[in-house]
A and B are shown apart, each in its own frame.
Chain A
């Protein structure tokens, strides 16, 4: 008990009061800013729910599977908002983007970590990263003026005349009522595939790089070829990081607005054909918001709420996977 006052005295002398106060203040200010930012983002969810309350009240859960969006009621067609065509389009376009984009990204990551000569590695991965620096409106412009004509004259007629006759999948490749005009789910999906490449390949590459060299060497020493060592020792080891990368890419695909709105044709309908025009949640909000009246704006905000919920779930899963995989992926889009 005798030593206690002495220890206290010493600690006081070593840390003068004003200094402790400055440090405390510093910690409080930075901490309070962080708290305000965190609080602000919680507020976002609350505000979005509050602002879309009119349509949540009016249509309830039916909003989720309604197929009609009619802000201008007549005697024949009532005022009704249903989100299904937008949800369908969002999921379909994102799925096309992932089906095309994921294998490409994995191939790129594999080439950069396992195959590329050391000299090319830096410049190549740098070039791939530049894809992320191109603004989405530029992808939209390029898609609309360059890709859409190519899709309309070459890709869609070709796919339609070949895969369009294969049973089971024929419907997906059938010529839509509007003809092969290039605007539709497939074109939007192709653009998204390009746009998710930098995200997925960068994090996948990081996951591959995190695989210890001994893993590969063990496989090689057993006589495995380069591909076998990648398949047997790198892929399983990096599985979690790769899954996280894919999920992050999915999050990006689901929320992409401008590049999609410029090439998808903006038709509020559900079509089986991949060549048909449609819309996504993000694209529909961007297209309609400016001209919508107050009640329709509430409906569009409810669409935004759905998109927020979907992207939160996707991103939370992605970040957990990436983090468990021991990767950082700081500030990656």
Chain B
């Protein structure tokens, strides 16, 4: 009897270990397949013109000959513009919040702000997008801003910056908190005022952590599609700097979303190409940022 029971326990043990291993393999499978298929299909359209030309025009190769493939020139331009604008709003604000939370935030207000920031990282981006739409729309009704800005690269950037701010603030706070108290004390002992200790000593010690957090936030914004569907739904042409920020622009994520739903094979081929570029970009940022973080703080798993 005893033997049977022990045997069964061992069997369960092995079965559970095997199941856990299977879970890991199952999870890696889609990642591997996404990488594999986007390289396989994306590499077919990659060429120099693909990076410089504007998106494809509607053209069905079944009925027309010589359909142009088009490219992602204006999509890259739009994505870069969106990132620059939203980062310009979110990173300074996020870092100021992060400094407050790390240096002065050990009180009830700091606790609630920290909690709110954590909760907000979980609010769906589509909700942020419709809120910004409503905000800009109500503001234009009141005559505060021109109604041209309601659907524009500007409103989309504001929405993306709202998504970024909590991420920047919390990662910045964590990076600052990781700086030892003794470093601060050394600065204070030299007679530096607190603000100089923070801005010169603590921030520069935590620099790589802060930059990493900002990079992760940028990656998150660059991968967003939902706010762009609502606020900045594409443009077949490139952004004209002389015409201001009330234009809409193309962007990598929105172009993929648009092209994949089209009936034209060349658009779908372009969608794979854009996907390959986007995936390389995102994995690059993510891997780089995570490696830098781990090297610095020796996070879990090392």
Where the two chains meet, the residues of A that have a C-beta atom closer than 8 Å to any C-beta of B are: 19, 22-23, 25-27, 29-31, 33-35, 37-38, 40-41, 43-44, 47-48, 50-51, 103-108, 110-112, 114-115, 121-122, 124-142, 144-146, 194, 197, 201, 205-206, 209, 225-228, 230, 248, 251-252, 254-258, 262, 282, 285-286, 289-290, 297, 300-301, 304, 307-308, 311-312, 314-316, 318-319, 328-333
A33-B91 Cα distance, complex, nearest whole Å: 12
Closest residue of B by beta carbon distance from A282: B126
Contact A38 B130 (CB under 8 A): no
Contact A138 B278 (CB under 8 A): yes
Closest residue of A by beta carbon distance from B199: A26
Q: Which among B48-56, B58-66, B223-231, B238-246 touches the partner chain?
A: B223-231
B264 at the interface (CB under 8 A from A): no
Total residues of chain B contacting the partner, CB 8 A: 100
5 A-B contacts (beta carbon < 8 Å): A41-B120, A127-B28, A252-B122, A258-B226, A286-B229
Contact A110 B194 (CB under 8 A): no
State the majority secondary structure of interface residues on A. Answer: helix
A115-B223 Cα distance, complex, nearest whole Å: 34
B236 at the interface (CB under 8 A from A): no
Q: In chain B, residues 164-202, which have Cβ atoms closer than 8 Å to a Cβ of chain A?
A: 165-167, 169-171, 174, 193-196, 198-199
Which of B21, B30, B110, B195 sits near A23, CB closer than 8 Å? Answer: B195
Contact B301 A282 (CB under 8 A): no
Closest residue of A by beta carbon distance from B16: A227
**Leading 7 A-B pairs by shortest Cβ distance:** A255-B124, A107-B23, A135-B223, A26-B195, A133-B286, A51-B134, A30-B100
Least CB distance from B112 to A in Å reads 7
A208-B86 Cα distance, complex, nearest whole Å: 37
Where the two chains meet, the residues of B that have a C-beta atom closer than 8 Å to any C-beta of A are: 9-10, 12-13, 16-17, 19-24, 26-28, 30-31, 33-34, 37-38, 93, 96-97, 99-101, 103-105, 109-110, 112-113, 115-116, 118-128, 130-131, 133-135, 137-138, 162, 165-167, 169-171, 174, 193-196, 198-199, 213, 216, 219-220, 222-226, 229-230, 233, 253, 256-257, 260-261, 268, 271-272, 275, 278-279, 282-283, 285-287, 290, 300-302
Q: Check A255/B171 contact, CB under 8 A, given A47-B135, A289-B230, A290-B233.
A: no
A318-B115 Cα distance, complex, nearest whole Å: 11
| B260 neighbours in A (Cβ, 8 Å) | 140-141, 144-145, 262
Least CB distance from B247 to A in Å reads 16
Which of B37, B121, B283 sits near A146, CB closer than 8 Å? Answer: B37
State the majority secondary structure of interface residues on B. Answer: helix
Least CB distance from B171 to A in Å reads 5
Q: Check A225/B9 contact, CB under 8 A, given A140-B260, A257-B124.
A: yes
Least CB distance from B200 to A in Å reads 12
Closest residue of B by beta carbon distance from A318: B122
Closest residue of B by beta carbon distance from A224: B9
| B226 neighbours in A (Cβ, 8 Å) | 136, 257-258, 282, 286
Contact A122 B302 (CB under 8 A): yes
Q: Check A255/B125 contact, CB under 8 A, given A130-B286, A286-B229.
A: yes
**Given A30-B99, A225-B10, A251-B122, 9 additional A-B pairs, CB 8 A:** A34-B109, A41-B120, A51-B138, A108-B27, A138-B275, A141-B272, A194-B27, A258-B225, A286-B226
A31-B93 Cα distance, complex, nearest whole Å: 11
Contact A37 B165 (CB under 8 A): yes
Closest residue of B by beta carbon distance from A254: B124
Closest residue of B by beta carbon distance from A36: B93
Contact A142 B30 (CB under 8 A): yes
Q: Check A134/B17 contact, CB under 8 A, given A41-B116, A251-B122.
A: no
Contact B26 A206 (CB under 8 A): no
